[in-house]
């Protein structure tokens, strides 16, 4: 059965719900090896939710849901459950899911928790030169004002960062993100501490990717795959990802301008003709 969802005046048809339940919750912020963890979890048999899935699958409905969640402090548990069950996701890592990990932890009491982290300054150097500035770079900064998906995505990321620092911020603010470095890094460090404080040791794995499969597979009661442990989304890979988005964005801008030009060309002669007839 399909479900019709109403969001800010837009009617969106959601796919039929599945019987899937979230079994793994990733609590680490983006740029802590979350894409490597996504790949590893997929290899172990999970269907893993990650920001990359939102972008590659163009999950516009999800974007609206996450924006609303960021604005209500992740208090809408029904929306969270609906989102994961609708997509059949059995694991969730990275932003925006890690933003709501405390709520997910309560909603899915049998889920195991995997935390990834890195030294604070190292993390800041990575995040401030990648995900935090992605929408500020040309031509993506243009396309986020034109294309509905990217316009909604930018609104979501602004809401996410606002949730993290507990005040309204935007990537269009002067000095972004450096002007907010102390607040963002403090929130990152606090999150790392809260995971250790709130999650019982039996449900928690502080995962170090350099350790490979052994501890991860044991924690999840899975067999060790007969292949090397993945290493994904390095800064070089992220730069290439951004370049691919830029090429796609540039093409979209060209198409939009061509359409606008065509419409103007069609409208102008009609307007001139109408004026002439009126004068006659």
When computed from its CA atoms, the radius of gyration of the chain, rounded to whole angstroms, is: 22
Q: Is the peptide bond before 37 cis (omega within 30 degrees of 0)?
A: no
The residues that bridge with 13 in the sheet, in sequence order, are 4
pLDDT at 138: 79
| CA nearest neighbour of 232 among 208, 209, 214 | 209
| Residue showing tokens 């796609």 | 248
Instruction: Compute the distance between CA of residue 20 and CA of residue 8 in angstroms, rounded to an integer.
Output: 28
Instruction: Compute the distance between CA of residue 35 and CA of residue 93 in angstroms, rounded to an integer.
Output: 8
- Phi then psi dihedrals of residue 137, to 5 deg: -95, 140
Per-residue pLDDT in tens (0 to 9) along the chain, 280 residues: 444 444 433 334 455 556 789 999 999 999 999 999 999 999 999 999 999 999 999 999 999 999 999 999 999 999 999 999 999 999 999 999 999 999 999 999 999 999 999 999 999 999 999 999 988 887 888 888 888 999 999 999 999 999 999 999 999 999 999 999 999 999 999 999 999 999 999 999 999 999 999 999 999 999 999 999 999 755 556 555 555 555 555 555 556 556 767 688 777 655 444 544 444 4
Which pair of structure tokens corresponds to residue 277?
């007839």
| Cβ–Cβ < 8 Å for 224, 214 | yes
Q: Which domain holds residue 155?
A: 3-279
- CB neighbour class for 174 (10 Å; exposed up to 12, middle 13-18, buried from 19): exposed
Residue 169 CA: distances (Å) to CA of 85, 123, 127, 158 = 31, 20, 16, 6
Q: How many domains does the chain have?
A: 1
Return the CATH number at 135.
3.40.50.300
- Phi then psi dihedrals of residue 27, to 5 deg: -105, -5
Residue 194 CA: distances (Å) to CA of 27, 102, 119, 185 = 10, 9, 16, 14
pLDDT at 279: 43
- Provide the 10 A C-beta neighbour count for residue 122: 12
The residues that bridge with 7 in the sheet, in sequence order, are 10
Q: Under DSSP, is residue 180 helix (H, G, I), strand (E, B) or coil?
A: helix
| CA nearest neighbour of 131 among 12, 262, 30 | 30
| CA nearest neighbour of 5 among 21, 15, 107, 57 | 15
Provide the whole-model pTM. Answer: 0.81
Residue 104 CA: distances (Å) to CA of 86, 111, 131 = 16, 9, 23
């Amino acid at each position: 059965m399909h479900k019709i969802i109403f969001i800010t005046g837009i009617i969106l048809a959601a796919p039929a719900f599945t019987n899937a339940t979230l079994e793994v919750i990733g609590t680490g912020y983006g740029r802590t090896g979350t894409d490597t963890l996504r790949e590893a979890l997929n290899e172990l048999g999970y269907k893993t939710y990650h920001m990359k899935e939102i972008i590659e699958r163009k999950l516009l409905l999800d974007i609206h849901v996450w924006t609303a969640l960021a604005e209500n402090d992740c208090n809408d548990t029904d929306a969270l459950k609906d989102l994961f069950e609708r997509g059949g996701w059995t694991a969730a890592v990275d932003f925006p899911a890690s933003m709501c990990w405390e709520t997910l932890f309560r909603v899915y009491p049998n889920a195991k928790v995997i935390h990834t982290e890195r030294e604070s300054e190292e993390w800041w150097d990575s995040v401030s030169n990648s995900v935090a500035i992605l929408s500020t770079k040309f031509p993506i900064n243009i396309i986020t004002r034109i294309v509905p998906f990217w316009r909604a995505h930018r609104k979501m990321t602004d809401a996410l960062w606002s949730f993290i620092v507990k005040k309204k911020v935007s990537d269009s603010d002067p000095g972004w993100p450096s002007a907010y470095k102390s607040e963002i890094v403090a929130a990152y460090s606090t999150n790392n501490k809260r995971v250790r404080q709130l999650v019982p040791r039996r449900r928690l794995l502080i995962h170090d990717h350099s350790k490979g499969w052994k501890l991860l597979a044991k924690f999840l009661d899975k067999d060790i795959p007969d292949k090397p442990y993945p290493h994904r989304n390095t800064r070089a890979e992220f730069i290439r990802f951004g370049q691919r988005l830029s090429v796609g964005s540039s093409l979209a801008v060209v198409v939009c301008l061509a359409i606008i030009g065509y419409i103007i060309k069609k409208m102008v002669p009609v307007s001139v003709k109408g004026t002439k007839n009126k004068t006659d």
